Amino acid sequence: MIVESNLKEETTNLMKRWEEERIAKLEAEENYKSTQITSNMEIQKLKRDVEAANRRPDRPRPKPICSIL
C-alpha cells in the first residue's frame, strides 16, 4: 500500500511538473516568435532606410571653419 501510494504521489508530482514545463516552453516559443517578428520588421525598416539614403543625391559637405580641417 505504501509503495502504491508513493507511486501515485510521485506520478502526480511528475505530471504537474511536466505540465508546468510544457506551459513554460509554449510561452518561450511565443516570446521567440514575437521577438522574431519585431526583429524582422526592424530589419526591413533599416533596409528601406538604407535604400532611400542611397537614392538621395549626395549633398555637398559644409566647408570646415578651420582651414587645417
pLDDT at res. 68 = 66
Q: What is the pTM of this model?
A: 0.60
What percentage of the chain reaches a pLDDT higher than 70? 94
- Contacts of 25-34 with C-beta under 8 Å, sequence gap 24+, read none
| The three-state (H, E, C) secondary structure of 11-34, written as one string | HHHHHHHHHHHHHHHHHHHHHHHH
pLDDT at res. 11 = 98
What percentage of the chain reaches a pLDDT higher than 90? 71
pLDDT at res. 69 = 56
